[in-house]
Structures are given as structure tokens and as C-alpha cells.
Amino acid sequence: MLDAEGTVLYVGKAKNLKKRVSSYTDAHRQIKRISYMILLTREMEFISTETEAEALLLEANLIKRLKPRFNIVLRDNKSFPYILVTRNHPAPRILKHRGSRKLSGDYFGPFASAAAVNATIRTLQSAFLLRSCSDSVYANRTRPCLLYQVKRCSGPCAAKISPVEYNALVREASDFLSGKGKNVRQQLIKLMQKTSNDLNFERAAIYRDRLSALSYIHSDQGFSQGVEKADIFAIQQKAGQHCVQVFFFRNGQNWGNKAYFPSADPDIPAQEVLTAFLSQFYENTPLPPLILLSQSVLQRELLEKAFKIRAKQRVRISVPKRGKKHMLVTCALENAKNALNRKITENTTQAQLLEKLASFLNLDRPPQRIEVYDNSHLQGSQAVGVMIVAGPDGFIKEQYRKFNIQSSDISDGDDYAMMLEVLTRRCLKLRKEINNKNIPQGHTHPLFPDLIIIDGGQGHVTCAYGVLEKHGFMQIPLLGIAKGADRKAGKERFFIADRGTFMLGSEDPVFYFMQKLRDEAHRFAVGTHRTKRKRSFMQSPLREISGLGEKRKYALLRHFGSVRAVSRASRNDLEAVEGIGDSMAHLIYDHFHSQKD
């Protein structure tokens, strides 16, 4: 269903199309939400599928991609992290991985969050002493790093362990992550007893420490016994909001949990919300053979058929009523309840802060969308600008944006020019949306900011206001936050184009709120800059070689481990890399050695 501007309002499937469409013809018999949707609808589009299960999969895909206003929408699109044990190096490493599986190795997951992965990796390092450093760092080390000293790495880079022994540790770690932890523990106990009997107490102490690390992991898995591989979903409703708590169990281990707050009308029952949530959740996430729920869902058999198509194996959906599985669901339900209570409390606090901010800045209403801008660079190199977004629900991270500074006319470290470019590009994007959607001038829109905050003083505010004025957005309030004397937190000065400069008391909640917004923008800007600088450091020498594409660059880095190692390689070694022929090997060799000459 589409409105007069062509915006998708609703996506739905129907086994009987005539019956489904006819149900919308009498708007007076519908609930308020549906009546309003019918009132806005100006056009309908139809897509036919072979089966109802395929229609369900297509519906979930379109909802997630288009985010229609009247659908239940899963707002968090981030992929889940995995633990990767690499297989493309003589000394495999263990690391966190998110995204497409291009690297060769064994993937274990999904984990509910990056924090869950990081905690697991730290414990696995203590238990199996696998390296976590990059291949380039490994290739250029002659002495072991601090992780070796604190017994979280076996030091393969400095030959502190033989390749055979190290690969045995890799196998043990893979076995443990595959659910064979009991066998690994028994083997370590035998080795500890044997070395102790041989009076090799130093070696026995190493096995003891590894067992202690494994015991820490197992102590946290007590309540997961009886569930080998399953996902658990529990839903709670309160004050017109919904929370779905998700737990991941793989190989008999709890791999974390996460709370979701789907966008849904307050009147929609929990059963319908959970059904829609499930159909969208597995769009980019591997399906387990078992899904446990806190309550029944609509069209369970249809969901199982659709999941079978996607997973290419049977997927069972169950609502346990007793036993260990029921205890796990009850635990998830309690977590959902607590998460929803925290969310409601946070939203209330956030709403009060937005009201105070509106009063302080003389706004007509509390801002629903605040955009904060900041720049980051290192003496002008790898310059980036960022935009973060905040609203009634806190930070809206899926709407954060990065801007690579593109203008070649900007001198090193010219913050004004960088801010000018970033805001100009943002204004052009807003103007494009106005033209494409025929939005009347001055009309509010969910993607239009109610307030713009920039990290800078009077000069930055004057520059930014000039951009807004040039593109016809003078109605958007603009605020600058400058670091105070000695750049100390708590002494910030605030700038508004028509009010000059002022300060706030350090105990004022509005002050802390704006400081929090500024700090988040700074964190995001610095992180983006560091990532860009690291990528540039690794790839820029290869980028200068004409005819060397991304696949070949990746093959070189995967084969040699670093750009430095590529630069030292002989022609014959370069030719041995997959995809690098005789002529390209000569080109790469000549590029690096002609530079040295």
C-alpha cells in the first residue's frame, strides 16, 4: 500500500487476495490504526509467488528493506558477530568477525553482542593461548608481546612454542567451541597429572591455569544443560511498548542474549508482534534446528515451512510447558521484563531532558531528531566528518553517517572548510528528499532535524549558519559547543547565532545531556578516522600499482600477511600467489624496488 507521494505504508501477504483486499473496503469497522492507513492509501501493488511460504519470506524481506510505517519493524539491522579461527596462516589466530565470510577458517556463532565475543575470546586466550594479533604484526615481531607475559598467548611469533604444539592448541580451541569441552577438560586433567607426577611442576601449573579458565566458562553454562542448539525468544508488553529478548545457545553453551524493541503500534497483541519479529529476524541470520518461544505465534506451520526453505533443513518451533527448556524460556521472559522496564525509565528521562532542552532553546516542541556533527583528522590526513542522530529513544545508531572529506582545495587541518563540506552535502541530501517526495516547504518530516549541534565555537556556528541559509534551512535551530578553558570538561561554552555565547552550570541536566551528545559525536568521529587511517596505512602502497584490483590486493595480503612483506617478496614468490601472473609479478616487484632506488 502506497500513499500519494509513493511512500510504502504497509506490506502484507494474502493467501486469498480478494478476501484480504475486501476486508479494507469498510474503514469504519477497522481499528483506528488501520482506518488511518486506509485513509492515506492511494495505490496498491501486487506481487505473486508460487507458495504461501515464499510470500512470507518476501514479506519479511520487503518490510526489513522498506520499513513501512504501519508494519511491525525490526529496527536493528546489524549482523551478529562470530568468533573466527583462521586457517590461512601457519599460526592461526582467533578474532572477532562480523559480516561476509570471506576469510578462510572456522566460524563459531552467532554471538548476541560484540561484548559477548570479546569476553569469550579473552577467556579462550587464557585457556588455549592462541594469538589474536594481525598477520602483519605477527610477521614483524622478533620478541613476544605483553600477552605472552600475562599468559594469554603462547608466543608463536618468537618461536616460544613449536608449530606442532601450537596447532594442537588450535584443535583444542576448535573442539571446545564445537561443543567438545568435556573431552578437552579431561585431556587437560590427564596432562596436568602426568606432568605433576614427572615433577614438571611449571608445566603442570600451565595446565592448571588453562583448566581454571575453562572452569570459568563452564560455571556460566549451568542453566543451559539439555539445549544443544536453539534460539529462545520471549516477549513482554508494557505501556504501549514491546520488548523481545533473544538468547543464543550453540553446542550446549549460552552465547549471549540481546533485547530488541520492535517498532509496532501499541494496540497490536504480543502474538502478532512476535510472529512478525520472527519472520524478519532470520533474514540475515542462520537458523537453528530449534526455536523456543514464550508464547504461541500465528501460522506456526507456515513459519516452519518458510524457515525450512531458508535453512534447507527442518526447523521446529516450540512453546515448552515444563522441564529445562521451560526454565530457559522463563529466564528469557524475566530478562525481557527487566529490559523493558529499563527502557521505559530511560525514555521517560530522555523525554524530560528533551523538554528542558526545548525550553532552554525556546523551541516550539521537544526535538524529535537531533543531528550532531564533528570532524576528525591527523594534521589534515584521512579527514572525515560524521553525523550522529539522537531522539526520544536515545541514540539512533542505524542513522549515523560518515563523510569522507573529498574537496582537494581544503588546506591541512581547516576545520571550517571540512564542516562546510559536510553540512553542504547534508543539505543537498535534504533538498533532494524534499523534491523527490514533494514535501511542502516548512513541512516537518521524520528525517528532518529539529536541532543541529556542531562541535565548535563562534566561527563554526557562523560557517554552518551560512550553509543552512544558502540552502533554505534557516528554520533549523543551530547550536555550537566549544571546549572551555584548558579544554577541560565542565567549562564548555555554547554558541547560538542570534544569542551569542553563554555557559551553563555544571550541575544542569541540560548541560550534561548536550555534553553527552557532543562526546558521542567525538567518539564516532575519532573511531571512523582511526579505521580509515589504518586501512590507508595497509593498502595505499598497493593502491598505487596500476592494474592491481581489489581481489589481487586481498590475495597478496592474505598470502604474505602485510604490505611490508609484499614489498620484500621476490618475483618468484609473487608469481606463486593465486591470480598474480608473470607480468603482474614483475609490475609489483618493479614498483617497490624502483621506489627504493
Q: How confident is the model at residue 379 (pLDDT cuts 50, 70, 90)?
A: low
Q: What percent of the chain has pLDDT over 90?
A: 23
What CATH homologous superfamily does 544-596 map to? 5' to 3' exonuclease, C-terminal subdomain (1.10.150.20)
Give the model's confidence band at 541: pLDDT under 50 very low, under 70 low, under 90 confident, else very high: low
Q: Does 512 have pLDDT greater than 50? A: yes
pLDDT, position 337: 93
Mean pLDDT of 55-84: 85
* Sequence ranges of the domains in the chain: 82-220, 370-533, 544-596
- CB–CB of 421/407 below 8 Å? yes
Residues 442-455: pLDDT tens digits?
A: 545 667 889 999 98
Per-residue confidence (pLDDT) for residue 596, from 0 to 100: 46
Mean pLDDT along residues 48-60: 90
**pLDDT for res 532:** 78
Q: What is the DSSP letter of 544?
A: T
pLDDT reading at 209 higher than 70: no
Residue 181: is its pLDDT beyond 90? no
Average pLDDT of the segment spanning 120-142? 83
Per-residue pLDDT reduced to its tens digit, 381-396: 778 899 999 998 889 8
Give CA separation, 168 vs 125, 153, 165, 435, 519, in Å: 14, 14, 5, 63, 45
Is residue 583 predicted with pLDDT exceeding 80?
yes
Selected residue with higher pLDDT from 281 and 142:
281
pLDDT, residue 367, reads: 92
pLDDT at 244: 94
Question: Any idea which residue has 583528522 for its cell?
Answer: 377
Q: Which pLDDT belongs to residue 241?
A: 87
User: 370-533 falls under which CATH superfamily?
Assistant: UvrC, RNAse H endonuclease domain (3.30.420.340)
Equal CATH topology for 370-533 and 544-596: no
pLDDT band at 524 (very low <50, low <70, confident <90, very high): very high
Q: Average pLDDT, stretch 484-510?
A: 72
Give the length of the chain: 597
Most confident option among 25-39, 304-318, 412-426, 569-583: 304-318
| Residue 596: closest CA among 575, 562, 565, 567 | 567
Strand locations in 273-404 (E):
290-293, 316-318, 370-378, 381-391, 394-395, 401-404
pLDDT for the residue numbered 386: 93
> Who has greater pLDDT, 514 or 140?
514
Which tens digit of pLDDT belongs to each residue from 321-366?
988 899 999 999 999 999 998 888 888 888 888 998 898 888 888 9
Instruction: Look at residue 597 and tell me whether its pLDDT is greater than 60.
Output: no
Residue 446 confidence (pLDDT): 66
What's the pLDDT at 219?
46
Look over the chain and give the mean of its residue pLDDT values, rounded to a whole number. Answer: 83
CA distance 517 to 376: 16
Sheet-wide strand order for 253-260 = 253-260, 241-250, 230-238, 290-293, 316-318
Question: Is pLDDT larger for residue 547 or for residue 97?
Answer: 97
Task: Give residue-wise pLDDT tens across range 210-254.
Answer: 666 565 555 444 455 567 789 999 999 988 889 999 999 887 778
Is the separation of the CB atoms in 281 and 220 below 8 Å? Answer: no
